[in-house]
Amino acid sequence: MRRDERTCKMCNEGQVEDVEIFLLHCNGLAEERKEMVRVMIEIMEGWQEMEGKDKVVCVVDKACEIGRVRREVERLYKNVWIELEARPQ
């Protein structure tokens, strides 16, 4: 399947699934994302106003340095994997 054909199945909004969608936008992960967003705003001034790609870079960057961020990213991705595993092959 081509990359641009893989639309997100967790929200059915027709968005192409990629790291940015999962990390920042998908409504199917809104609950799981809350704490990560809260922590990012707390530790990094101006994060919320950044462009999506820059936000992602900062989250990954902080996840390497700070355990709290890493745990939240892991929590988010755990839900992504559960969803992907459940799909018919």
Q: Which residues bind Zn ion (CB under 5 A)?
A: 8, 10-11, 26, 28
Go through 57-68 and write b for each residue having 16 or more CB atoms within 10 A of its CB, e for each that does not: ebbeebbeeeeb
The residue among 7 and 61 lying less far from Zn ion, judged by its C-beta, is 7
Minimum gap (Å) between residue 12 Cβ and Zn ion: 7
Name the phi and psi angles at 7, rounded to 5: -85, 155
Q: Which residue type is seen at 56?
A: V
The residue among 29 and 63 lying less far from Zn ion, judged by its C-beta, is 29
Minimum gap (Å) between residue 16 Cβ and Zn ion: 10
